[in-house]
Structure 1
Amino acid sequence: MPRNPWPTLAVLAVAQFMVVLDVTIVNVALPGIQADLGFSAAGLQWVVSAYTLLFGGFLLLGGRVADLVGRRRMFVVGLLVFGVTSLLAGLAQNPEQLVVLRAVQGLGGALLSPAAFAILTVTFAHGRERNIAMGVWGGLAGLGGTLGVIAGGLLVDSLSWRWIFLVNVPFAVVIAVLAPMIVVESKSRTDGRRTFDIAGALLSTAGLLAIVLSVIRAEPLGWSSFEVIALLVGGVALLVAFVRVEARSAAPLVPLGLFRSRSLTTAMLALALNGAAFLAMFFLTAIFLQQVRGLTALETGLQFLPMGFAAIASAVIASQLVTRFGTRPVHIGGAVFSIAGLLLLSTADATSSYVTTVLPGLVIFGMGIIATGTPASIAAVADVRHDQAGAASGVVNAGYQVGGALGLAIITTLSTSHVEGLIAGGSAPQDALAGGFERGLLLAAAFAAANILTAIGAPRLRPSAEQVSEAAVAA
């Protein structure tokens, strides 16, 4: 352990800030990307989904490789992959190039993030120092998500959408140079055998990609087309093969025994539904504010900003409420807030008041989405053995990313289909876009409503303040 661990925290926190910033900064640039590169309305969601699917699909493998090969080494490798693909994404000339580069960028994030978190846990001793470090880490991650919409708006309006990717490059270069000088290398002790379960990661990610593609292709081709059926059946077959590989592996990527825990299973489902509602809301609202209400990218970012602050406040309040009332009431309350926020947002049109419609919708939703996620994250590791807490955390985090990508595909596909139907029926393009926005948010509200059922099916837990703190850190 280094004598002064705080420079290590600075390096890791800046890297995590960059990764989280990249998730939200993209949304306000979507209309510019669509106009410049010629994305279709249905294809645009791949700018988000390609990243989240690969990030979620390889998150567990990234953590496993970091533990066995070396955490600092994989941190730097992930950082370089992220930086190089950010540079190339900023130079992309067509939709296919950008989607592929976003996918590889997600892979870089999947190598970088778990390695950084593992370095953090071995650098700081359990107790006050680690809690402070985790607080700084989580605070900067939350700040990155909140400021991403503002930074994206500034870059798009003053330069171009390409700079939302190019801005990552100097950060990646500086951190890659500093990391070997500041961060101490560490790895898990093994008996000499290195089992990575690459087959499991490839099967699960390929299966999910096939299913998402089948949903997207169903919009122009119809659900009965051979291509859609083949993709859907192929995706399910790959996921079945993934389960068989995991069941037989001596060192599985996902220990299937974890799913005997009802707390973990319901928490993973809850976070997957949360991811679907959140990514769809962010995607649809960013386009709505610019293409229907005529705002600039910066104005769009500023309108999102109160939601970020509401979410940060909600995280603090929800943790306290879980200690007092237990996980289930807070989970249900968060889902109700999420539904209310989405329903209010769905009533917005080109002439609606921001103060009376958009602002309260975003604030209520921001509070609800975190109030749902906080008890789910705590419940995920509540009855899991201590030595499996890391694997459980990885499973639910991957569930959030993958659920978000699948939900976004379903919601945007149905929303786009509704827009095309309205235009075919004679509606003006702007009115059709507003109708598609409303339909998409109502579908997102349905995903949020499913979280009430998830909460009812989850065990009733009432952890102590100390257990809440430890579980939140592990999750």
Structure 2
Amino acid sequence: MDEKGLNRGRVLLAVALAQFTVTMVMSIVNVALPAIRSGLGFGPDQLSWVINAYSLVFGGLLLLGGRAADLYGHRRLLVLGALVFAAASLGGALAQSPAEMIVARVVQGLGAAAMAPSALAVLTTTQRAGKERTRALGVYAAVSAVGGAVGVLAGGLLTEYGGWRWVMFVNVPLALAVVWLAMQHIPAGAAAGARRLDVLGGVLGTGGIGLLVLGIVRTNQNAWTSATTLGTLAGAAVLLCAFAVVETRSSTTDPLVRFSLLARRGIGGANIFLLLVCAGQFAGFYFVSLYLQQVLALSPVATGAAFLPFCAGMIAGSAISTRLLGTLGAKALLVPGSLVAAVGFGWFSLISPSGSFLADILGPSLVAGFGIGVCFVPPTSTATEGLPPHEAGMASALLNSARQIGGALGLAVLVTVQVQHTDSALQAGRSPEEAMTSGFGQGLGLAGAILVAAALVAAVVLPSRPRTGAPDRPADAVGAPATEVLQ
């Protein structure tokens, strides 16, 4: 399809629905966690793997998915990923044991790892640079917030009135709708030819990240200085070092990661920043969800509704960030945005065992949500701007990897801290409600500290020069003709 025949509005709709689906699946499962634990018999230390299994595979395979999209076609990988995602969602809805649920979440992550970078690459290579592209990225970021809002509310409604299995089944028609829209409105594009996909790099990178998260999570049972923990973390370091060697060796003509990209201050800084922001945000959602249900004893529906102010704040922050990005630049938005989010999570850490929605949740939800919303659009724009189409999938995969790996690592670290803090409080004679609240508060406070670290990264690493408005033209960094860009 050439530029004249391209309906960019419908392309954006397809991309937005793909991002909505990938985002919603995280929050919709969050609300259903207690019901899933009871229904399938998860142990308390296993439950976070319902989240981690998806985040880990999603984040670990994003680089492979993004590079495959560049080599074999963005639409092709988007459609394939959506079909795998739909099949895994059906498998999760029919799961009869914790193992089956975790396998389904692993396969869901595999499908999402093909969908997410392909969708963002489609956006960056079809929307005209300048105001049109900034608005499209704003829609992309806002849809992430809307996906979170709909996810928590739908998760509550479905769990309450239909059972937890519906939080998995609902993804099936959404993923199939992505397939239909992509086939109808996204250009097929041209594959890069018979070039080798760096499978070895994907295996090493995914294995290294997986061992890293596994080593951190298992500190619930094994001390940090134990042979098991040290051996696991050492294995992760070896695999990640091997990954770096494979990606930089001269014989790797199509690496998953061109480290020269990350050496650019804008791209490297945006990825580090987003990794830290998502490390705090994902853990925050997890702790607040459990606090609402296990301490305040809210129903799944009420828990979903309680998240709406947080997501409304995210939407408002995304809208303001989109409007001001071209004038102020990324750094001027990300430093205050992440600090505002840190204040919100610090406020969350003051939760009480005898608290309420109005006293403990509403205020910090609006503050934290607004700050997080401000932090989404600028990194996406900074990390994908000015790149040629054949590297769009790689850059999109890097950004999505930072998001998901940050979420997985943040959740692994902070859940470990939370569980240990709760156990210590129980041993000290505090009631279960007091102990759980203390542990959740500890985790939320540390999430705020991570966001302060994100503000420091934005202040020190990101370039301070404001972005200048670019003319409305197809996004390309090398002056390619429009018809080439759209392939």
- Structure 2 counterparts to residues 340-379 of structure 1, below 5 A: 340-379=343-382
2:101 is matched with which residue: 78, 89, 98?
Answer: 98
Q: Are the aligned partners of 2:67 and 2:393 in contact in 1 as well (CA < 8 Å)?
A: no
1:169 is matched with which residue: 168, 172, 175?
Answer: 172
Kindly indicate whether residue 88 of structure 2 is the aligned counterpart of residue 85 of structure 1: yes
Structure 1 residues 316 and 468: CA distance shift in structure 2, 3 A: farther
- TM-score, normalised to structure 1, is 0.90
Q: Give, as a single letter, the amino acid of the residue that structure 1 aligns with 2:409.
A: L
Please give the alpha-carbon distance, in whole angstroms, between the structure 1 residues aligned to 2:137 and 2:382: 19
Deviation at 1:166, TM superposition (A): 0.7
Please give the alpha-carbon distance, in whole angstroms, between the structure 2 residues aligned to 1:230 and 1:74: 36
Partner of 1:38: 41
Structure 1 residues 459 and 63: CA distance shift in structure 2, 3 A: closer
1:148 is matched with which residue: 148, 151, 155?
Answer: 151
Partner of 2:197: 196
Partner of 1:210: 211
Structure 1 residues 163 and 405: CA distance shift in structure 2, 3 A: same
- Structure 2 counterparts to residues 30-429 of structure 1, below 5 A: 30-120=33-123, 137-176=140-179, 179-180=182-183, 183-190=186-193, 193-248=194-249, 249-381=252-384, 388=391, 391-429=394-432
Deviation at 1:114, TM superposition (A): 2.5
Please give the alpha-carbon distance, in whole angstroms, between the structure 2 residues aligned to 1:389 and 1:118: 5
Fraction of identical pairs, as percent:
38
Q: Give, as a single letter, the amino acid of the residue that structure 1 aligns with 2:366.
A: V
Deviation at 1:252, TM superposition (A): 0.8
Please give the alpha-carbon distance, in whole angstroms, between the structure 2 residues aligned to 1:374 and 1:398: 16
Deviations 1:241-280 (A, max 9, x none): 0000000111110001123223322222211110110000
Q: Are the aligned partners of 1:261 and 1:384 in contact in 2 as well (CA < 8 Å)?
A: no
Partner of 2:452: 449
Please give the alpha-carbon distance, in whole angstroms, between the structure 2 residues aligned to 1:444 and 1:366: 13
Partner of 2:439: 436
Please give the alpha-carbon distance, in whole angstroms, between the structure 1 residues aligned to 2:135 and 2:379: 23
Structure 1 residues 343 and 118: CA distance shift in structure 2, 3 A: closer
Partner of 1:25: 28
SS state at 2:104 partner: helix
Please give the alpha-carbon distance, in whole angstroms, between the structure 2 residues aligned to 1:31 and 1:468: 51
Deviation at 1:351, TM superposition (A): 2.4
Deviation at 1:468, TM superposition (A): 12
Deviation at 1:353, TM superposition (A): 3.8
Q: Give, as a single letter, the amino acid of the residue that structure 2 aligns with 1:225.
A: S
How many residue pairs were aligned?
472
Structure 1 residues 7 and 129: CA distance shift in structure 2, 3 A: same
Deviation at 1:237, TM superposition (A): 0.4
Deviations 1:72-93 (A, max 9, x none): 3322221111011101111222
Moved more, 142-151 or 77-86: 142-151
Q: Are the aligned partners of 1:378 and 1:471 in contact in 2 as well (CA < 8 Å)?
A: no
Structure 1 residues 147 and 309: CA distance shift in structure 2, 3 A: same
SS state at 1:44 partner: coil
Q: Are the aligned partners of 1:332 and 1:452 in contact in 2 as well (CA < 8 Å)?
A: yes
Partner of 2:480: none
Q: Give, as a single letter, the amino acid of the residue that structure 2 aligns with 1:261.
A: R
SS state at 1:284 partner: helix
Q: Which has the higher helix share?
A: 1
Deviations 1:205-224 (A, max 9, x none): 11111011111112212122
Deviations 1:452-474 (A, max 9, x none): 32133224423245259999999
The higher-RCO structure (CA 8 Å, 6+ apart) is 2
Please give the alpha-carbon distance, in whole angstroms, between the structure 1 residues aligned to 2:428 and 2:373: 39
Structure 1 residues 402 and 35: CA distance shift in structure 2, 3 A: same
Deviation at 1:404, TM superposition (A): 1.3
Q: Are the aligned partners of 1:342 and 1:441 in contact in 2 as well (CA < 8 Å)?
A: yes
Structure 1 residues 458 and 132: CA distance shift in structure 2, 3 A: closer
Q: Give, as a single letter, the amino acid of the residue that structure 1 aligns with 2:82.
A: L
What is the aligned-residue RMSD (CA, Å)? 2.9
Q: Give, as a single letter, the amino acid of the residue that structure 2 aligns with 1:230.
A: G
- TM-score, normalised to structure 2, is 0.88
SS state at 1:42 partner: coil
- Structure 2 spans left out of the alignment, 5+ residues: 478-487
Structure 1 residues 468 and 367: CA distance shift in structure 2, 3 A: farther
Please give the alpha-carbon distance, in whole angstroms, between the structure 1 residues aligned to 2:155 and 2:335: 33
Please give the alpha-carbon distance, in whole angstroms, between the structure 2 residues aligned to 1:472 and 1:55: 26
